[in-house]
């Protein structure tokens, strides 16, 4: 038996924790100490980026928190507004580093203290980018020597660095022990591809190549997101993930709200904000989130103002709606069927044009009718992607 001792289990009081296998152990610690959750994040996150790489053919990255993706992306060039929104002005970035900037930029608040996962060998531009972010773990199939040297300095030398064998093939059967009882099933090894986008059920039938890419990114991301889950994607990255909710409409509302925040971060007011000196990136993210929040209490408003040298103008409701109307052409994926049209109604408010879902709901006709009313293109994937 090959094993790696863990500093603790799910919580610090859960001792006697280890990772082990009877065969090849494909992952090793290059620096730091690992907990149970660290490995749950790393093993799920790496599978996600590996599948994105295989499906899309571009360097891929993910930001994982609490066994769920906060964001995922493939390489796609950044426009000027995203360069500023993602805090990468003046930085030299490889395609792999751009993918991570996009993944983390999907939801910068949720990415705080993340597990950063990479499909390719990590280079020094990735290490430089991570050096400016609060991150707890990295997992990748390899590291350039200069990148590894920089990463080992992170968190006062305690940054957890994991290296995984890119050629590793897991066995077909997965096992899990719950309450002393072991369950077994075939591993979810479905290969998500454009074939899952061919069964188009709406009046509008055409899905351009960029939207196909985004739909695949969303589906693959959902394969490793806690169910129920939905995902919004645009321009080669996720822009909103709603996961772990018992109601699908709550997943959609959560993901749509995050997609709206992603769009709001690119508003001209945000791009020229004058922050108080000495703020960390996390505090700046909090400040921007507060600016977008229409429901702050008076006490929260007073605290929010301390983030700035000059307090920025707040958006009116109509001004916010006008800016959000610029979010167009987004893709939306669901890990199971859409039971009611309310998911389509909410997705349409956040610029969704392309939809993929499992299909075979009792109310399919109502959902198709809603998609047709908004001029959407909707495909049935025929697969369910629950993940627990």
The answer to whether 218 touches 52, Cβ cutoff 8 Å, is no
Catalytic residue of the set 66, 152, 250, 387: 66
Catalytic residue of the set 13, 16, 317, 388: 388
The reply to whether 24 belongs to the active site is no
The reply to whether 369 belongs to the active site is no
Catalytic residue of the set 31, 128, 228, 261: 228
- How far is CA 366 from each of CA 229, 301, 343, 360, rounded to the nearest angstrom? 21, 42, 11, 12
The reply to whether 320 belongs to the active site is no
The reply to whether 28 belongs to the active site is no
Catalytic residue of the set 31, 38, 44, 65: 65
Active site residues: 65-66, 228, 388
């Amino acid at each position: 038996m090959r094993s790696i001792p863990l500093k603790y289990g799910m919580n610090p009081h859960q001792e006697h924790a280890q990772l082990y296998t009877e065969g090849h152990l494909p992952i090793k610690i290059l620096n730091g100490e690992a907990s149970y959750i660290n490995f749950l994040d790393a093993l799920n996150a790496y599978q996600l980026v590996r599948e994105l790489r295989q499906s899309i053919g571009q360097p891929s990255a993910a930001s994982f928190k609490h066994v769920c993706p906060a964001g995922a992306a493939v390489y796609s060039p950044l426009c000027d507004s995203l360069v500023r929104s993602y805090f990468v002005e003046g930085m030299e970035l490889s395609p792999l580093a751009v993918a991570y900037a996009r993944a983390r930029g999907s939801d910068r608040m949720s990415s705080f203290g993340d597990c950063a996962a990479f499909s390719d060998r990590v280079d020094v531009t990735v290490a430089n980018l991570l050096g400016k972010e609060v991150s707890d773990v990295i997992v990748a199939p390899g590291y350039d020597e200069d990148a590894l040297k920089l990463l080992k300095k992170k968190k006062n030398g305690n940054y957890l660095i994991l290296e995984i064998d890119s050629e590793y093939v897991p066995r077909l059967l997965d096992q899990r022990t719950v309450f002393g009882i072991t369950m077994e099933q075939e591993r979810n090894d479905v290969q998500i591809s454009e074939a899952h986008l061919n069964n188009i059920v709406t009046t509008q039938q055409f899905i351009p190549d960029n939207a196909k890419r985004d739909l695949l990114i969303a589906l693959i991301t959902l394969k490793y997101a806690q169910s129920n889950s939905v995902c919004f994607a645009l321009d080669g990255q996720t822009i909103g993930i709603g996961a772990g909710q018992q109601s699908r409409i709550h997943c959609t509302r959560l993901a749509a709200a995050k997609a709206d925040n992603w769009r709001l971060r690119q508003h001209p007011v945000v791009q020229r904000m004058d922050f108080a000196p000495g703020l960390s990136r996390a505090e700046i993210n909090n400040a921007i989130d507060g600016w977008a929040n229409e429901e702050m209490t008076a006490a929260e408003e007073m605290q929010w103002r301390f983030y700035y040298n000059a307090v920025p103008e707040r958006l009116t409701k109509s001004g916010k709606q006008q800016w959000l109307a610029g979010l167009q052409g987004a893709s939306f994926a669901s890990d199971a069927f859409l039971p009611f049209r309310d998911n389509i109604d909410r997705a349409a408010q956040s610029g969704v044009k392309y939809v993929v879902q499992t299909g075979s709901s009792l109310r399919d006709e109502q959902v198709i009718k809603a998609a047709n009313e908004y001029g959407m293109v909707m495909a049935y994937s025929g697969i369910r992607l629950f993940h627990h």
